[in-house]
Homo-oligomer: A and B are copies of this chain.
Amino acid sequence: MDFFDLANKRRSIRKFTDEEVPEEVIEKSLKTALLAANSSNLQPWEFYWIKDENKKEELIKACFSQNAAKTAKELVVAVSRIDTWKRNKNLLINHYKEKDKLIPLVEKYYNTLVPLQYYYDPFGISTIIRKIILFFFSFIGFFKPIARGPSNKHELFEIVTKTTALACQNIMMSLVAQGYDSCPMEGFDKTRVKKLLNLNNKSHIVMVLGIGKRDPKGIYGDRFRINEELVIKIVD
């Protein structure tokens, strides 16, 4: 099946059959997630594959026991983090060093620019400092293009969640490519899901993916998209 057939075939499935999903299918999908583009290659994502039966039960409840969670044979939680950049940029730098490919521009980028953007302290002092810098910077912005952020926690979370979503689309498509299906859920009690996974407040739950084989009754009607002229705009 070509890519466009897969994209057409992918639907959010609200009810799965009893058929098990082979482990390799999930493994391959999660590995493919990691091939997605991501911000500055900082890979701020995490994917939790919940195999423990008790935790699965808890997670289903945290998803308000919706059918897509209840009938799913496998559950994966996608998480975005604003606190793994430091570890990851060091791993990146070490990799470049080992390959003898660490050029000064890259080192400066990861050791100066990335910390300037990503450093975050719980008291918000870094946010205030960044806002002051960006304020003065904004005068230059009258004359030439400048970077305008991120300055605060919300903007950081928008970046890491965006990147994690790119990976999630790869998961959903990988499943269809292997003959399986998914339902991306955003309706859940985030406090409970975070507690279940021992996550701190520097992480967001991006989505919970219910995974299995589609039950024909698990598709709620034809796909409806608003007129594409409303959202595809040609600027000419």
A206 within 8 Å of B (CB atoms): yes
**Chain B proximity mask over A169-203: 1 for CB below 8 Å, otherwise 0:** 11011100100000010111111100001000000
Are the C-beta atoms of A149 and B190 separated by less than 8 Å? Answer: yes
Question: What are the residues of chain B within 8 A of A233 when measuring CB–CB?
Answer: 46-49
Find the B residue at minimum CB distance from A186.
B39
CB closest residue in chain B, given A31: B228
- Bound complex: CA of A165 vs CA of B160, how far in Å? 11
Q: A31-B228, A159-B186, A174-B4 are in contact. Are A141 and B191 (CB under 8 A)?
A: yes
Q: Tell me if A97 is interfacial: C-beta within 8 Å of chain B.
A: no
A161 on interface, CB distance cutoff 8 Å: yes
CA distance A159 to B169 in the complex (A): 15
User: With the chains together, A63 CA to B148 CA distance in Å?
Assistant: 12
A39 neighbours in B (Cβ, 8 Å): 186
**CB-nearest residue of chain B to A11:** B37
A230–B34 Cα gap in the complex (Å)?
11
- A166 in contact (CB, < 8 A): yes
Q: Is the CB of A46 within 8 A of B189?
A: no
Q: Which residues of A contact B (CB under 8 A)?
A: 2-4, 6-8, 10, 12, 28, 30-32, 34-37, 39, 41, 43, 45-52, 55, 61-64, 87-88, 91-92, 95, 99, 101, 141, 145-149, 154, 157-159, 161-170, 172-174, 177, 184, 186-192, 197, 204, 206-207, 221, 223-228, 230-236
